[in-house]
Amino acid sequence: MAKLEQFNTRRVFALTMIALAFIGLFVRACYLQLIEADFLHAKGNNLYVRSMNISAHRGAIYDRNGQPLAISTPVYRVIADPQISSQYPESIQLVAQTLGISESKLKQKIKQRKQKRYLSIQRHVLPETAQQLKGMRNTGFRVEREYRRYYPGGEMAAHLIGLTNSDDAGVEGLEKVYESWLGGAAGKKKVAKDKRGRVVADIGQMLPPKLGKDLSLSLDKRIQYVVYRELKKAVLKHQAKTGSVVVLDPANGEILAIANYPGLNPNNRNNVGASSIDQLIRNRAIADVFEPGSTAKPFVMAAAFEGGHYKVASTIDTNPGVLKVGSTTVRDKNNLGIIDMTTILSKSSNVGSVKVALNTPEEDLWRIYSNVGFGQTSGSGLLGEQSGVLKNYIDWNKGQRITLAFGYGMSVTTLQLARAYGVLANDGVLAEVSFVHGDSQAGGRRILSAKTTQQIRQMLRKVVSVEGTAQQARLQVYTAAGKTGTSRKLSNGEYAKDQHIALFAGMAPATQPEVVIVVMIDQPTQGGYYGGVVAGPVFARVAETVLRLRNVRPDRILDAGSSLLLSGAKR
């Protein structure tokens, strides 16, 4: 009997404990479900819910006619989870074969990061290649979409447009200047991952991506192609170091083309080192300065005319072709004798230009040089643009005043020189430079009188005649006006006898200029080095094509070897 009572007591105790356990579990469950639910849910999400970036599509860059110059195309990144992928050697082999990489190196990378959950294998994988790997998610490999910049024009406009890095962010040129406009902003989304770190579901979007905006440039892709082609031919023909060309619309300051050679193909940088990229992508038209030489002489004439010191018909005695002022000696190639102002330009007389400058107040000359933009940036907003050098006339000595008369003792860029010649082409009005289509402002700032600039344009037409220094810059069906320049380069503080800058700065049609074109060839070594021989032909070929592309009506008709000018002819 005692044993039965003892058994019943134990049974009651056991049942009581079981009941209490169930009650405790029930209470605990209620507590977790009702009171701790939010905390536990958040904790669970922290373990299995992650946020992922959503790539933002970068804005495209177009030319003035809507032709693409830079677009972002979808590509993919191949990613591995080393903790999982290390267990599937056959998948490692397939990924290596598909991507064309070393299987042994891939195995080594995965092994070294075996404790990690994320390893980037390869970026910018083409869609068709990525498609072959999309079914391998369960083996620790996956692909994620990203974007890569593509430049349809290749190297022809790379110096201006610039580059993006592997993350599709601008690092050079307009890509960098307009990064906030083009780049947009990445979005975010929530995803659920399993215990192996694999994405099993999209939960929802946290922040939508902000798409980049498109940018329309003032460049004309057709003109840019022609300019780059002709520049490349000239640099190679004359075995020059580098070259630059700028084509500008003088009426509104819009840049229709800006090219440099050598160039870089931004679509293929695999075999180019970082330092080489920096040099090849350098926009030399805005970053390299040089002494403009005789291309500065028209502005000496402008200062003389504006101040009333000389007229077009004034004459200068250049005998005997040599002028010595103090310790400075100035020479002409030939003794030109007594010549008028037009001949000073057409024959590029240094002696004549110096005599005009010496009889013109130095403040007047400095004011013209400064007002057309020498010694200051163009305001284009481009990174790396140089201002050049133009000292204030207060700091000039006699020797500097003389050398400034034929373009030495100061420095400019190709873009600055084009902007200055835009004043001559635009009846004395300086238009602000712009690389964005439709961004140019109406009007401009008057620098010279219309009468002075029209007189100088007429004088510059003689330069491209059979009597001038730029016969090879003549056009077939259009009139042209311009000035040659051949300046020596400084080397170790002295002017080198065998290193030159060949220049031609001009406009067409001369009757009513539609374009200004400046050609700079740095250090030509074959086939001559004078501006009229090296740079003049580039101007002619570019100008002829550009005017036709812009549907400008010819103003010069060839008839039995003679030319008939149609004054005022325009598109």
- Amino acid identity at 251: A
Sign for the pseudo-dihedral over CA of 471, 476, 480, 484: negative
Strands 315-317, 562-565: parallel, antiparallel or unpaired by DSSP? unpaired
- Amino acid identity at 382: L
DSSP 8-state secondary structure symbol assigned to residue 212: P
Given this model, what pLDDT does residue 568 score?
Answer: 42
Given this model, what pLDDT does residue 57 score?
Answer: 84
Reference 260, options 275, 245, 279; nearest CA is: 245
What is the Cα 350 distance to its own chain's centre? 36
What is the Cα 360 distance to its own chain's centre? 40
Give dist(CA 118, CA 78) in Å, integer: 11
Given this model, what pLDDT does residue 365 score?
Answer: 96
Given this model, what pLDDT does residue 114 score?
Answer: 81
Topology, domain 221-565: Beta-lactamase (3.40.710)
Q: Look up residue 18 and give its two tokens.
A: 């079981």
Q: Look up residue 395 and give its two tokens.
A: 């700091």
Phi, psi for residue 185 in degrees, rounded to 5: -150, 140
Reference 385, options 141, 160, 209, 541; nearest CA is: 160
Reference 244, options 542, 557, 559; nearest CA is: 542
Which of the residues in the chain have pLDDT under 70? 1-8, 24, 27-55, 137, 186-207, 271, 273, 440-442, 557-571
- Amino acid identity at 148: R
Given this model, what pLDDT does residue 54 score?
Answer: 64
Ramachandran assignment for 100, one of left (phi > 0), alpha (psi -120 to 50 degrees), beta (any other):
left
Strands 215-216, 61-62: parallel, antiparallel or unpaired by DSSP? parallel
294 is catalytic: yes
Given this model, what pLDDT does residue 417 score?
Answer: 98
Residues of the chain with CATH 3.40.710.10: 221-565
| Complete DSSP assignment for 404-471 | HTTT-S-BB-HHHHHHHHHHHHTTTEEPPPBSBTT-PPSS-EE-S-HHHHHHHHHHHHGGGSTTSS-G
The residues near 104 (Cβ < 8 Å, ≥ 6 apart) are: none
Residues of the chain with CATH 3.90.1310.10: 52-183+204-216
Give dist(CA 47, CA 192) in Å, integer: 9
Sign for the pseudo-dihedral over CA of 445, 450, 452, 454: positive
Give dist(CA 398, CA 53) in Å, integer: 66
| Given 72, 91, 294, 380, the catalytic residue | 294
Helix (H, G, I), strand (E, B) or coil at 143: strand
Domain 52-183+204-216 has CATH 3.90.1310.10: yes
Helix (H, G, I), strand (E, B) or coil at 252: coil
